[in-house]
Amino acid sequence: MEFSEHIKTVNVEDVVLRQPLHPPSRGTLCITGHHLLFSDREEGSCRQVLLLLRNIDAIEKRISGSSGTITIKCKDLLVLQLDIPGMEQCLNIARSIETLSCLDSVTEMYPFFYRPSDVHLPDQWGLSSPEKHYSQMRELHDRWRLSTVNRDYLVCPSYPPAVIVPKNIDDDMLEKVAKFRQGGRFPVLCYYHRKNGTVIMRSSQPLTGANRKRCREDEQLLQAAIEGSDKGYIIDTRSSQQALQARMTGGGFESKTCYSSWKRLNRQMERGKALQESLIKLVEACGDEYQNMDRWLSKLENSKWLSHVQTALSTAGLLAECVERDGHSVLVYGSEGRDSTLLISTLAQLIMDPNCRTLEGFLALLEREWVQAGHPFQQRCAHSAYSHARLQQESPVFLLLLDCVWQLWRQFPLALGFSEALLLRLATEAYASNYGTFLCNSHQERCVLGLKENTHCLFQALLRPKERDCYSNPLYEPTELAIWPSVHPQSLQLWRGFFLRWTPQARHLEEAQEEIRNMVIEWGNLALS
Amino acid sequence: MASPVSVYNSNALDTHISSTSRESLKMELLADVSLLPGEERIIDKETMYICPFNGAVKGKVLITNYRLYFKSSDADVMLDVPLGAISRVEKMGGASSRGENSYGLDITCKDMRNLRFALKQEGHSRRDIFELLFKFAFPLSHGLPLFAYVTQEKYAENGWAIYKPVEEFRRQGLPNNKWRITFINKNYELCDTYPTVLAVPFKSKEEDLRRVAAFRSRGRIPVLSWIHRENQAVICRCSQPLVGMSGKRNKDDERYLDMIREANDTTKLTIYDARPSVNAVANKATGGGYEGDEYQNAELVFLDIQNIHVMRESLKKLKDIVYPNVEESHWLSSLESTHWLEHVKLVLSGAIQVADKVSSGNSVVIHCSDGWDRTAQLSSLAMLMLDSHYRTLRGFQVLIEKEWISFGHKFASRIGHGDKNHADQDRSPIFVQFIDCVWQMTKQFPTAFEFNERLLLTILDHLYSCCFGTFLYNCESMRDQQEVRLKTVSLWSLVNSKMDMYLNPFYTPESGRVLYPVASMRHLELWVTYYIRWNPRIRQQQSPVEQRYKELLALRDEYLKKLEALELSGSSPSSRLANTPNNPASSTPPQQYTQLQTPL
């Protein structure tokens, strides 16, 4: 496809840009295949504003007389307004934005064109991989092995080529287990708890169906995972009712008789559409600046966003408790095992494992547990809270994760090695990015499109010296202890830094945080010198 | 998954419990309580503390003339409550009550908690402890002195010296050719609830002041609280005019307000009436009212802040949803229904309007009914926004001494120090609400205040404790009569003798800056570390940071020393205290939405 087909008007002079935190300015608007560029022509200033078209979630156009106004609502919650002289020009621009902001083909997206002059495409892509993860944990090698049964993505299309499984379960058995689990997502290890040798595994639901099918290999795999221990826990992120119902559609859960050593715990977590609607309600309430403010807290409550945060943190807490306090291994899944499963396994690792709390450790964790484990970013993050498009697979699970991490960060301001700015950056990048990291839905898709050869890696970029300074927590003090979050509603806060990001107040606080960071760094340097 | 906090989160007061080994504690639970000078043990008793979080805990309670102290037998649970914090003591259950722990004492506190103790039913075991507790918790109702008069702790600094009215006026640049200092009230004859030293328009004569006093409720005439150094706009405070049903006028009052306006050529003097307009109208029935059209060159703005009764009920509702159990399922809408944050918002936004008016060069007058509750909130918050001096540790003390203590906020009536009448209609958490507003500001401007949250908590603890004379009595004339400054210690003596506990390491002085907090509900937070601090399951966010504070302060000191050394050696790189980042542009990470350096 040629982008130029979709661009009827390239340049418009005399456009007025209105955006929060800045006075309106007049200048030239220019549209390219991937960007909106506005350059200010006021005397004495030459500000330019570059907006990735992918970041645009919805536009509204209003024509009055010979000119028009386009309101642009971005996925990072920024709202801009452009006053464009000339009706036709306005309509052309609007049409271009509509088409170019939701390109379907991944290889046409900006990451495939992004070529910063100072950086070459990396030889090595990413920070972590199951192979690397495995080789770093020697303690694991007695009882667990690295299997490449999925090297051609035939056993499980959404898994990476290599996964960690119990040593005495061979690849043939894995293939059988995969057939018994939805989407082929057989149980794999995602976390090894050094303190007591227990593990977290994740999978999708077993396909027991109404006839309560069994799979001996699946039973053996789980048994092998807890060899030498009397029991393990299965955390199912559905209610028992939902789990029962899942049988009707071919899914199900592990029966007590066949998995006698395993104890099931049900914790219902909202997913999919419900989560997306919650985000929409919340953003609506946040943006509702001039409406009656008396009901703000009720609106916040009605959006249910904070109760989703609460459920996620408390389920992750339960998981961590099983592992850290109770000393038993856990298998986690919901239905597909690509959303809430990843959410709570990630949070539980942050709670327990100090290695995940450094800047690198956290990014590596995200890479393993979200990117490689097959969270369908492309489907989930196709649209954000403003879009009028009919919802399909959108769901802000990753944003919910970032919010939960922010809550941890707020409750333990010294325990995490990264800053709020990192979480904000990730929240933006997941929806629209220069980097290839969050493109596609699985490792396989990325491999097919040659993502590693053709795009830059966000996680590596975030670790470059200049960025690292900005994204690390100057107050960081590593602790070996688990950080147990308080999940009472009184302890949870709206993530103002994100949801009210484009208000002067949030911006002001950001500046103050920046100031604090600079101060601490400066003092630190002097103390060293 | 809240982790049960093993150490019971007890009182934030600086009481000194020496760390003795558990073994010896078991032998004599109460042996290690270190008492303040003048503090005496009254009674101790085996008892059961009915902890709302950990269930019934067996231990020993000690009552002194200052505190109620409890330690559990295993020494895990400890309570240390100044008797001043108690508002009500009641007997729970009777001699024939059945059920476990149904017989004992039920204690309501002023600081957002209640305490229950169960005692043995046999032999009227609670009679003596009830009577003694009742007596010492409410000394004024029993002809006993407040504890502040009994104790005489020595501190390196005398906190009573922190505020000297004339010096504070001089700091503001007063007197000048528009404003004079008057001692007309030196014997409290003009107004018995005002301080002795007042600043009034230069042109006004003493007899004018007397005539104005006759037209203002309780003689609280408009006087200057603060003047803007550059534009000379002022904040004046007073009480309502005595307009009454008949709509009386007073030429002297009208002319006097016009003198305030004239002092810096304000075109229109703005009078902020803190009340809702309906209340202002209703006040006419009792002889009060508000300034009408006869006040030429003045405009009247109502700020819609509710009265002391509404605030009291609001905080009571808040207590109901946070103690002993925090509301779980509908927390936010329950919080909303207390209206507490909404009241905080109205007070803050009123103060913002005042500050904004003054910084744009217009003089203002603030009043409510008597001018000692809402008026004090508005003037002090506006001054905190306008004048960075009040944002320092010492400056904040001056602000409280000046706008609250010297101008007759009725601490004794609002708090009820040593008084058994817990249901008195004069009680109201107006000062707590002010401190809440200050806390909201410190949250929004984390680098603008020299003091930290701990100072605010300490102030609120000692608002009730009666350990210091600072918050005792309703006005200066009473304090003089009771010789508070001679016979008691100031809270600021304590604070200023261990200042580094109360310093904010991130403070960066910016003298000219006016702070405009956002008073939108979206940006206000419930002050969980104060209102829900007794609940060990709610994360106390403050503590880990605080441990780091001292370290950071040490780092900062080192930094300042090196900077000084560099300056001495003549190679001063910069004299700024790191308050401006080197290059603001470089600190913002590149995002999709970027200011480009080079065009495409």
Query: Which positions in chain A touch B530 (Cβ < 8 Å)?
Result: none
Q: Please name the member of A313, A489, A496 whose beta carbon is closest to the beta carbon of B523.
A: A496
The pTM of this model reads: 0.90
Q: Check B592 against A491: CB less than 8 A apart.
A: no
d(CA A233, CA A322): 7
Is A455 at the interface with chain B, CB within 8 A? no
Q: Check A300 against B330: CB less than 8 A apart.
A: no
Query: Which positions in chain B touch A432 (Cβ < 8 Å)?
Result: 592
Average pLDDT over every residue of B343-365: 97
Average pLDDT over every residue of B140-156: 94
Average pLDDT over every residue of B220-240: 97
Assembly ipTM: 0.90
pLDDT for A316 beyond 80: yes
pLDDT for A272 beyond 70: yes
d(CA B86, CA B84): 5
Question: Any idea which residues of B carry the catalytic annotation?
Answer: 368
Choice among A120-124, A173-177, A229-233, B64-68 with the minimum mean pLDDT: A120-124
In A, minimum Cα distance to B596 occurs at: A48
At residue B65 the predicted structure's pLDDT band, cuts being 50, 70 and 90, is: very high
Size of interface A-B (CB pairs under 8 A): 181
| A 146-185 → B contacts, CB under 8 A | none
Write the single-letter amino acid at B368: C
Q: Check A522 against B599: CB less than 8 A apart.
A: no
Count other Cβ atoms within 10 Å, centred on residue B573: 8
pLDDT digits (tens, 9 = 90+) for A424-434: 999 999 999 99
pLDDT for A312 beyond 60: yes
A61 to chain B, closest Cα gap in Å: 21
For strand B67-72 and strand B78-82, is the pairing parallel, antiparallel, or unpaired?
antiparallel
In B, minimum Cα distance to A430 occurs at: B592
pLDDT for B22 beyond 50: no
| A 304-333 → B contacts, CB under 8 A | 306, 313-314, 317-318, 320-321
Angle at B561 between CA B558 and CA B565, to 5 degrees: 140
Which of B48, B59, B43, B53 has the alpha carbon at shortest distance from B119? B48
pLDDT for B592 beyond 70: no
> Which range has the top average pLDDT, A232-241, A473-482, A496-505?
A232-241
Q: Given this model, what pLDDT does residue B115 score?
A: 96
At residue B419 the predicted structure's pLDDT band, cuts being 50, 70 and 90, is: very high
Q: Please name the member of B1, B544, B556 whose beta carbon is closest to the beta carbon of A413.
A: B544
Q: Given this model, what pLDDT does residue A480 score?
A: 93
Write the single-letter amino acid at B367: H
B199 to chain A, closest Cα gap in Å: 36
Q: Check A527 against B558: CB less than 8 A apart.
A: yes
Q: Check B523 against A518: CB less than 8 A apart.
A: no
Query: Which positions in chain A touch B348 (Cβ < 8 Å)?
Result: none
In B, minimum Cα distance to A318 occurs at: B1
Write the single-letter amino acid at B273: D
Query: Which positions in chain B touch A49 (Cβ < 8 Å)?
Result: 593-596
Average pLDDT over every residue of B162-180: 97
At residue B166 the predicted structure's pLDDT band, cuts being 50, 70 and 90, is: very high
d(CA B275, CA B277): 6
d(CA B223, CA B229): 17
Count other Cβ atoms within 10 Å, centred on residue B482: 17
Which of B413, B420, B415 has the alpha carbon at shortest distance from B464? B415
Average pLDDT, whole number, for chain A? 92
Q: Check A411 against B444: CB less than 8 A apart.
A: no
Q: Is residue A437 within 8 Å of A461, Cβ to Cβ?
A: no
Q: Check B592 against A477: CB less than 8 A apart.
A: no
| A 386-415 → B contacts, CB under 8 A | 410-415
For strand A35-40 and strand B223-227, is the pairing parallel, antiparallel, or unpaired?
unpaired
pLDDT for B598 beyond 80: no
Choice among A133-137, B214-218, B348-352, B393-397 with the minimum mean pLDDT: A133-137
Count other Cβ atoms within 10 Å, centred on residue B570: 6
d(CA B237, CA B557): 40
Q: Check A515 against B579: CB less than 8 A apart.
A: yes
In A, minimum Cα distance to B556 occurs at: A523
Q: Which residue has tokens 């709509």?
A: B247
Q: Is residue A103 within 8 Å of A109, Cβ to Cβ?
A: yes
Query: Which positions in chain A touch B545 (Cβ < 8 Å)?
Result: 413-414, 475
pLDDT digits (tens, 9 = 90+) for B49-62: 999 988 899 999 99
In B, minimum Cα distance to A306 occurs at: B332
Q: Given this model, what pLDDT does residue A123 score?
A: 74
Q: Given this model, what pLDDT does residue A66 score?
A: 84
| A 20-39 → B contacts, CB under 8 A | 30, 32, 35, 37, 39
Q: Check A519 against B506: CB less than 8 A apart.
A: yes
At residue B3 the predicted structure's pLDDT band, cuts being 50, 70 and 90, is: very low
At residue B423 the predicted structure's pLDDT band, cuts being 50, 70 and 90, is: very high
B592, B595, B597: best to mutate for the A interface, most A CBs within 10 A: B592
pLDDT for B124 beyond 70: yes
Q: Check B1 against A314: CB less than 8 A apart.
A: yes
Q: Given this model, what pLDDT does residue A101 score?
A: 92
- In degrees and rounded to multiples of 5, residue B64 shows phi and psi of -115, -175
SS3 content of chain B, % helix, strand, coil (to 5): 40, 15, 45
Q: Given this model, what pLDDT does residue B384 score?
A: 98
Choice among B11-25, B206-220, B301-315 with the minimum mean pLDDT: B11-25
The Cα-based distances of A327 to A67, A314, A438 in angstroms read: 68, 18, 35
Q: Check A425 against B591: CB less than 8 A apart.
A: yes
Q: Please name the member of B1, B445, B578 whose beta carbon is closest to the beta carbon of A518.
A: B578
Instruction: Give one DSSP letter per residue of A79-96, joined into a string.
Output: EEEEEEESHHHHHHHHHH
Q: Report the 3 state secondary structure along B364-431.
A: EEEECCCCCCHHHHHHHHHHHHHCHHHHCHHHHHHHHHHHHHHCCCCHHHHHCCCCCCCCCCCCCCHH
B403 to chain A, closest Cα gap in Å: 28
Q: Check A477 against B548: CB less than 8 A apart.
A: yes
Q: Check B587 against A514: CB less than 8 A apart.
A: yes
Q: Check A50 against B593: CB less than 8 A apart.
A: yes
pLDDT for B593 beyond 60: no
- In degrees and rounded to multiples of 5, residue A345 shows phi and psi of -70, -35
Q: Please name the member of B3, B518, B558 whose beta carbon is closest to the beta carbon of A484.
A: B3
- In degrees and rounded to multiples of 5, residue A198 shows phi and psi of -85, 165
Query: Which positions in chain B touch A324 (Cβ < 8 Å)?
Result: none
Q: Given this model, what pLDDT does residue A505 score?
A: 78
**Helices and strands (H and E) in chain B: how many:** 20, 15
Angle at A136 between CA A132 and CA A137, to 5 degrees: 125
Query: Which positions in chain A touch B344 (Cβ < 8 Å)?
Result: none
Query: Which positions in chain A touch B317 (Cβ < 8 Å)?
Result: none
pLDDT digits (tens, 9 = 90+) for A39-70: 987 766 678 899 999 999 999 999 988 889 99
For strand B298-302 and strand B269-273, is the pairing parallel, antiparallel, or unpaired?
parallel
Asked if residue B324 has a cis previous peptide bond (ω within 30° of 0), the answer is yes
In A, minimum Cα distance to B548 occurs at: A475
Q: Check A293 against B520: CB less than 8 A apart.
A: yes
A518 to chain B, closest Cα gap in Å: 6
Q: Please name the member of A297, A318, A504 whose beta carbon is closest to the beta carbon of B521.
A: A297
Q: Given this model, what pLDDT does residue A529 score?
A: 66
Write the single-letter amino acid at A427: A
Query: Which positions in chain A touch B449 (Cβ < 8 Å)?
Result: none
Q: Which two tokens stand for residue B357?
A: 């008016």
A31, A51, A359, A519: best to mutate for the B interface, most B CBs within 10 A: A519
Higher pLDDT among residues B511 and B170, named by residue: B170
- Quote the radius of gyration of chain B (alpha carbons, Å): 26
pLDDT digits (tens, 9 = 90+) for B245-292: 999 999 999 999 999 999 999 999 999 999 999 999 999 999 999 999
Instruction: Give one DSSP letter per residue of B259-296, joined into a string.
Output: HHHHTTT-SSEEEEE-S-HHHHHHGGGGT-----TTST
Q: Check A297 against B587: CB less than 8 A apart.
A: no
Choice among A2-6, A88-92, A136-140 with the minimum mean pLDDT: A2-6
A125 to chain B, closest Cα gap in Å: 21
